[in-house]
Amino acid sequence: MKYATATAATLLLLTQGAFGLFRDQSTKKDHEQIQRKLEQGMVCELDHTYAQSADTEVRVYVRSYPGDGDGLFDITVRKEPWAPAGGSVTNPGWCIDYDRFISTGYYSMDIFSAFDPELHYHNNNPNKRAVDKRENLPNLAWMINHINVGDYINAYVPGYSSKCRRTIKWQDMQGAIWRIIDNNNGESWLGSSNSNCASEWIKREAMSKGNNYVPDCMDANELVPLVYVVDTDDGGTNNGDITNQVIMSETKLKSIEGMCKCAPPGVPFGSYTGNPQCHSGGSTTPFGYDYGWKMNGCQAGSYTLDTGGEIKGSCAVAAQIILDVECNDDKSATISWSGTGGSVMAIKVKGGFGGTVYPASDMRNGGTFVAGFNNGGQRADISHIEICLNCVGPECYVVEDPPAPDADPTETDRSDFWSSVETAAIGIGQDTLEIRANPDSDEWLWINGNMVKVAEGEWAKASISGFMVRYKQTSSAVREAIIYLEGPKEKISFKTFKSFVRIDVDWKDSQNYGGALGLLGSYDHEGAMFGRDGKTLIKNHHKFGQEWQVEDSEPRLFHSYEGAVVNKNERAHDDEKEA
């Protein structure tokens, strides 16, 4: 199951003359978006063996029936790379082996990606076989990435006389998993909580659409199925008899750093290493570092530079480079670069050189840079050298030219005019939710453009794109709607008070908003004002607002634009609809 960023999310605010846009750019990308990114210079592949525990048993905590509705198990790991250093990660889990038994507790387990060729297959020996239908593992991976608990089924299913209408429960997902991967179906154990028609529909969707499915490295929220095996001591050969039920977790690719290997086209996958050296006068061994595609920082440290000393670096592919050097003496330095590639974004020389920032050089396919010190004998303290490939970050971005002082108006002259948000709408996938602050009207909530009737004082429920929505009217002046993205810990709240709308996005410590940009600023960089390209840092607030002004191509989320100030094309669209 995928949470907040499983589908594209857009948030629009309707005011008395202004629109705001918040877009989460870490969401699932369509084929054209993926192709554009590949054309921009990155190709990725999955290293499934990276998730393997090899000859090391991993201590895993399994909790049965956790009660959160996300799966049959909660599976907790505290060891790298499956968990962050010093921390733990808990993912929903499923049974993929009904023949064996497992209960709540700690286990020493082997961990594999479901795609790992070294997973216990052993088709001729059921005591050693972890998976009955290994050929269906890609279908299982497709299922956990495309079908969620809370999705609604309204379809005819072969073998069932009536239409299957049901909100999917975890029991339906578990039944479908057994149908896809296991020779033994345990749905009878689930009892009335399981719907056979729902499990069959899920299975048919996965089997028809998930053949040869591979998790997408370009989507940071893609899920990979990890398989957990308890077996007898086998010395790391993966030949031990399996002693407990084999289980599977839904794990985000981005939580296992290094599982996705990315490189520009034509550059071999892997990492490049090198050792920094000092250039002593006329020596032919300058301080240097050979960079391939990986964002390796140069080793920090102090280096003595003799007469004519210089610091060199090279980049085999297009990249953004920052060289940060601090010297203990006021010695002159020059910066130069050569070659036809490697975009040198900035070279900063601090200390005795007064914090000089040298301009960018437009090199696109690889090249070298040199910081030459005309007078030797001083020490250079290397803070870092950062080589970034297509990165967006505080160290690697394009800074827009700052405006002249008289071109940077303040907001203190707005005492005679103000505006407030009247209506807000959010789109997740193909569904929309809209809320309006108008205490004089009973119409205040719309889902997919349809007005929702609300009984005062009572909480009610709905769903958009598989996410639960709760809404309530306390009085005509106080109304609220809450979208639960990942249980109670991640939600978007819309509240009205008289003619004002308030929106709260509860995302503390969330991993689901990486890459989010918009009028709220960059989530990854503490609100930095990046443009739509994700690279340009805009310092002028007015230009930043214009950059994120709603365009004709943006999704139309409001059920009506009556009373709003919109551009001529937008008004023409509404006139056509009314005609």
Q: Are 385 and 325 in contact (CB under 8 A)?
A: no
**How many domains does the chain fold into?**
3
Judged against a pLDDT cut of 70, whether residue 484 lies above it is answered with yes
| Chain mean position to CA 123 | 37
Residues 461 and 327 in one domain: no
Which of the pair, 339 or 177, is modelled with greater confidence? 177
Residues 331 and 241 in one domain: no
Residues 224 and 184 in one domain: yes
Last residue of a domain, one of 369, 388, 407: 388
Alpha-carbon distance of 25 to 267, in angstroms, equals: 26
> Quick one: average pLDDT of 338-359?
40
Which of the pair, 509 or 182, is modelled with greater confidence? 182
Judged against a pLDDT cut of 60, whether residue 514 lies above it is answered with yes
Residues 317 and 441 in one domain: no
Residues 356 and 481 in one domain: no
* In the block, residue with structure tokens 């030459």: 372
- Does residue 399 form part of some domain? no
- Does residue 48 form part of some domain? yes
* In the block, residue with structure tokens 């299982």: 140
Alpha-carbon distance of 475 to 202, in angstroms, equals: 42
Residues 73 and 14 in one domain: no
Torsion of CA 65, 67, 71, 74, to 10 degrees: -70
> Quick one: average pLDDT of 376-390?
41
> Quick one: average pLDDT of 495-519?
79
> Quick one: average pLDDT of 112-116?
82
Alpha-carbon distance of 300 to 135, in angstroms, equals: 48
Decide: helix, strand or coil at residue 108: strand
Judged against a pLDDT cut of 50, whether residue 347 lies above it is answered with no
Last residue of a domain, one of 345, 372, 388: 388
Of the chain, the percentage scoring pLDDT greater than 90 comes to 15
Task: Write down how long the chain is.
Answer: 579
Residues 189 and 63 in one domain: yes
Tokens of 500: 């004002």
Note the helical H segments in 71-160. Answer: 137-146
pLDDT digits (tens, 9 = 90+) for 119-165: 766 556 667 778 888 889 899 999 999 998 888 898 899 989 888 99
> Quick one: average pLDDT of 430-443?
90
pLDDT digits (tens, 9 = 90+) for 529-554: 888 888 788 888 888 888 888 777 77
SS3 labels along 13-77: EEECCCEEEEEECCCCCCHHHHHHHHHCCCEEEECHHHHCCCCCCEEEEEEECCCCCCCCEEEEE
- Does residue 415 form part of some domain? no
Domain around 247: 43-262
- Does residue 519 form part of some domain? yes
Last residue of a domain, one of 388, 413, 439: 388
Q: Are 2 and 221 in contact (CB under 8 A)?
A: yes
The pLDDT value given to residue 178: 94
Q: Helix 196-209 crosses helix 170-181 at what angle (to 10 degrees)?
A: 50
Residues 208 and 78 in one domain: yes
Residues 223 and 257 in one domain: yes
Residues 355 and 429 in one domain: no
Peptide bond into 268 cis (omega under 30): no
Among 99-113, 340-354, 436-450, 480-494, which stretch is predicted with the lowest mean pLDDT? Answer: 340-354
Please name the amino acid found at residue 287: F
Tokens of 80: 């790298």
| Chain mean position to CA 388 | 19
Among 204-213, 414-423, 516-525, which stretch is predicted with the lowest mean pLDDT? Answer: 414-423
Using alpha carbons, list the distances in angstroms from residue 115 to 166, 224, 236, 265, 547: 31, 9, 18, 24, 43
Judged against a pLDDT cut of 90, whether residue 451 lies above it is answered with yes
Residues 540 and 455 in one domain: yes
- Does residue 408 form part of some domain? no
Among 57-61, 286-290, 292-296, 461-465, which stretch is predicted with the lowest mean pLDDT? Answer: 292-296
User: Does this model's pTM top 0.75?
Assistant: no
Give backbone dihedrals phi and psi of 385, rounded to 5 degrees, phi first.
Answer: -120, 125
Q: Are 309 and 376 in contact (CB under 8 A)?
A: yes
- Does residue 306 form part of some domain? yes
Which of the pair, 6 or 68, is modelled with greater confidence? 68
Task: Identify any residues that bridge with 427 across adjacent strands, giving them in sequence order.
Answer: 10, 432
> Quick one: average pLDDT of 382-402?
33
Which of the pair, 480 or 8, is modelled with greater confidence? 480
Please name the amino acid found at residue 479: R
Q: Are 344 and 370 in contact (CB under 8 A)?
A: no
- Does residue 33 form part of some domain? no
Given pLDDT bands bounded at 50, 70 and 90, which one contains residue 262?
A: low
The pLDDT value given to residue 85: 77
Alpha-carbon distance of 489 to 378, in angstroms, equals: 54
Judged against a pLDDT cut of 90, whether residue 15 lies above it is answered with no
Alpha-carbon distance of 123 to 107, in angstroms, equals: 25
Q: Are 330 and 352 in contact (CB under 8 A)?
A: yes
CA triplet 497, 503, 507: central angle to 5 degrees?
Answer: 145
Alpha-carbon distance of 412 to 525, in angstroms, equals: 27
Buried b (16+ CB within 10 A) or exposed e, 402-439: eeeeeeeeeeeeeeeeeeebbbbbbbbeebbbbbbbbe
- Its sign, for the CA torsion 339, 342, 346, 348, is negative
Longest dimension (CA), the chain: 89
Residues 147 and 212 in one domain: yes
- Does residue 465 form part of some domain? yes
Q: Are 244 and 130 in contact (CB under 8 A)?
A: no
Burial label for 247, CB within 10 Å (0-12, 13-18, 19+), is buried
Task: Identify any residues that bridge with 523 across adjacent strands, giving them in sequence order.
Answer: none
Alpha-carbon distance of 558 to 14, in angstroms, equals: 8
Which of the pair, 412 or 516, is modelled with greater confidence? 516
Judged against a pLDDT cut of 50, whether residue 195 lies above it is answered with yes
